[in-house]
A = this chain, B = another copy of it.
């Protein structure tokens, strides 16, 4: 039913990872049904097939999954759109069963990327422990709970679900790392503009020349649309065909974004609209509030210019 918020959620599993933690920051998801998926592709397919209403998957700088996969899966099948983003600080904990102290720890279960991010802490605090690779942060917590390993590097949610004791918090070497997750649904009317929105796009071009990329960026620049992320990916589909994944500031309902999108549609081989949605604000974050439209780029300016042109055309 249109307007009904999603109630069946899928997330990149297993349980007890940052993705679940991110999903549970969304009130409707906290009340709804939440199912882990084995992969990003499986999560998105569940939405495509109607088995789920929305999927929460990592998009950027992710632990245990990756940007590339999500982007590729987003555009590989029938259209999907992002309706929300959640930015979560990546705060690893070292957790163990009750009664285990640091001095007892001989083996630590961790996802390879998690142990990579905590290398400094491990070297300083557990120099003699063996780090054992496991498939996910959730699996690490489970293996500590079962006693397979003495401790786990995992998310707080994973430690809690497995009733582990947190021996150390924020053990990542770079304290300010974050992961950006997105909530993905089947296409529908985008959420209304809030004044601080993001729009995600995939733009395909036939050649990998810098001139072509400049042309794409100029379509944004002349409408004052700012770019917060860009990533080129070979498409694999056709010889020399490239895709750019772009995150822009603004909403598809804004005049300037609308004109920029129409321009991209005209100059590129294909544009795929991946959603307009509120930008996530988190405390201690980028520090920049909503960015107002540059001079001459507000909806009022567009309306004024359109009225002026109409007068000229009529003489």
**A residues bordering B, Cβ < 8 Å?**
38-41, 60-61, 66-69, 112-113, 115-116, 119, 133-135, 174, 176-177, 187-190, 208-211, 213-215, 217-223, 225-234, 236-237, 239-240, 244, 252-253, 258-259, 261-263, 265-267, 273, 286-288, 296-297, 301-302, 304-306, 308-309, 312-315
26 A-B residue pairings within 8 Å (CB atoms)? A39-B113, A39-B116, A61-B234, A69-B113, A112-B135, A134-B135, A176-B236, A189-B313, A190-B313, A208-B226, A208-B228, A210-B217, A210-B221, A214-B217, A217-B217, A218-B218, A230-B231, A239-B286, A239-B287, A259-B259, A261-B312, A262-B305, A266-B297, A266-B305, A267-B296, A273-B312
What is the count of identical protomers in the complex? 4
Asked if residues B214 and A252 are in contact (CB atoms below 8 Å), the reply is no
A217-B214, A309-B261, A315-B190 known; A302-B227 Cβ under 8 A: no
A210: chain B residues within 8 A (beta carbon): 217, 220-221, 225-227
Greatest chain B CB density within 10 A among A217, A232, A297 is at: A232
In the bound assembly, the distance between CA atoms of A259 and B219 in angstroms comes to: 12
In the assembled complex, the Cα of A113 lies from the Cα of B286 at a distance in Å of 32
Are B230 and A230 in contact, with the CB atoms below 8 A? yes
CB distance from A22 to the nearest CB of B (A): 17
| Cross-chain contact B234 with A232 (CB below 8 angstroms) | no
* Contact A314 B189, beta carbon cutoff 8 Å: yes
Q: Which residue of B lies closest to A291 (CB)?
A: B209
- List the B side residues contacting A213 at CB < 8 Å: 217, 227, 230
